[in-house]
A and B are shown apart, each in its own frame.
Chain A
């Protein structure tokens, strides 16, 4: 009996000891005294992860500590659901991506919806770049590509069925009144490798992902599905200029749970927009071929709502809805 009491006493001691050390986390919204966690809903080492880590590095002086956490799974739903249901004091910030809308449009969102979040800001966007082999004489312009696809089978690689680059290619086909055969891979890398080996005809991934091969002269970009031409490739037209009104691509931004107070969100916006405008972050993004595209919380929210509607329509047209 004595032994058991001693055991319990010791345990209580340990608990109270550790409780003291961890208790001071909820110090209002004074971020300089706060540990902040940024949730990335994808694996470490990917594009979303890189942008978040670069931004967190640029913003690290405004917090007591800032850590990046990867919670991948279910196409991003796992991490975003975790972030949406987190504490509402601004201590857990989630990097939301276009999958916030596409997952819901597809019906495999597992209950995730954008109204669970209050967006802080959009950080970066990347348009789909229709890319083919450089020595492929069949295609020199996007028109060639579209016209060819009307009478022949064209295999377009993407980073996964139902993922954004699949929907982007499908969206272009819909606008142009043609059809592609979509081949899904696990991530953009597999698609690009297969294109380099000549096993498929084109890929529809972001420019950042094919940049090195375009520079080495192995691949060429026919068009980008952005509003404006990209700085890195000023000679490549947009799909709009070619007569196909398709602006499709991914975007990444920061968000906190919907119940977070507005003043906390405003403070976070100030911190992160400063970080995003810092030279260090700009250089980081240029090196990694990412485009900084800042948008405040309100317009970001409107954009998300718009995109959800657009993708819901697109998924319905394509018959991709699963759940």
Chain B
């Protein structure tokens, strides 16, 4: 937990610092002359708050008693499976635009169901096709969301 807290505080602090540097270059109230604060003020204030909180969290975590410091496993069977899933989904969204919703989603569903449910291939395919088509039809025809407006075959 201690390590996780420190990483979280570090990431937030880095983002906060970066944003302050970026926003410092934005026009200020004086440039507008109407009394309106410049676009940089708000991000700077919020980033500064985030930096302060990150420092507080880091201090608390370092002082954290050892018995409270539970270990969070980040590399085991379960989490590895999650990372692979994330990878597949990123690949899926990347090809979504080219393959279109129906093909890409059917394949994605088939991969996951084949992996998780370990059913017969024909059932796996059947489930993925039905699921994809139901979602497609509900959104495309009932809700009028143009799911079928991209992809090589335009569906």
> Which of chain A's residues have a CB closer than 8 A to the CB of B106?
11, 14-15
Contact indicator B154/A14 (Cβ below 8 Å): no
Q: Nearest CB to that of B125 among chain A residues? A: A10
Residue in contact with A7 in the complex, picked from B103, B121, B148, CB distance below 8 Å: B121
Contact with B along A1-41 (1 / 0, CB 8 A): 00110110011001100110111010000000000010000
Q: What is the bound-complex CA distance between A11 and B122, given in angstroms?
A: 10
Instruction: Give chain A's interface residues, CB within 8 Å of chain B.
Output: 3-4, 6-7, 10-11, 14-15, 18-19, 21-23, 25, 37, 67, 69, 181
B139 to A: closest C-beta gap in Å:
13
19 A-B pairs with CB atoms under 8 Å apart are: A6-B122, A7-B110, A7-B114, A7-B124, A7-B125, A11-B106, A14-B129, A15-B106, A18-B103, A18-B155, A19-B153, A22-B148, A22-B153, A22-B155, A25-B154, A37-B146, A67-B144, A69-B144, A181-B34
- Our count of residue pairs bridging A and B at CB distance below 8 angstroms stands at 44
Contact indicator B129/A22 (Cβ below 8 Å): no
> Which of chain A's residues have a CB closer than 8 A to the CB of B146?
37, 67, 69
> Which of chain A's residues have a CB closer than 8 A to the CB of B9?
none
Contact indicator A11/B144 (Cβ below 8 Å): no
Residues A10 and B153 in contact in the complex (CB < 8 Å), given A15-B103, A37-B146: no
Q: What is the bound-complex CA distance between A23 and B114, given in angstroms?
A: 30
Residues A22 and B154 in contact in the complex (CB < 8 Å), given A7-B110, A11-B107, A67-B144: yes
> Which of chain A's residues have a CB closer than 8 A to the CB of B129?
10, 14
In this complex, the interface size class of chain B, counting residues with CB under 8 Å from chain A, is 20 to 34
Q: What is the bound-complex CA distance between A235 and B129, given in angstroms?
A: 64
- Residues in B125-155 with C-beta less than 8 Å from chain A: 125, 129, 144, 146, 148-149, 153-155
> Which of chain B's residues have a CB closer than 8 A to the CB of A11?
106-107, 110, 125
7 new A-B contacts, CB < 8 A, other than A7-B125, A23-B153, are A3-B121, A7-B124, A10-B122, A21-B155, A22-B154, A22-B155, A69-B144
Q: What is the bound-complex CA distance between A3 and B103, given in angstroms?
A: 19
Contact with A along B19-60 (1 / 0, CB 8 A): 000000000000000100000000000000000000000000
Instruction: Give chain B's interface residues, CB within 8 Å of chain A.
Output: 34, 102-103, 106-107, 110, 114, 120-122, 124-125, 129, 144, 146, 148-149, 153-155
Q: What is the bound-complex CA distance between A67 and B34, given in angstroms?
A: 45
> Which of chain A's residues have a CB closer than 8 A to the CB of B125?
7, 10-11, 14
Q: What is the bound-complex CA distance between A181 and B32, given in angstroms?
A: 12
Q: Nearest CB to that of B140 among chain A residues? A: A67
Residue in contact with B102 in the complex, picked from A3, A18, A23, A25, CB distance below 8 Å: A18
Residues A6 and B154 in contact in the complex (CB < 8 Å), given A11-B110, A14-B129: no
- The 9 A-B residue pairs with the shortest CB-CB distance in the complex, in nearest-first order: A22-B155, A10-B125, A7-B121, A3-B121, A6-B121, A69-B146, A14-B129, A18-B102, A19-B153
Question: Most B CB atoms within 10 A — which of A6, A10, A69, A181?
Answer: A10
B147 to A: closest C-beta gap in Å:
11
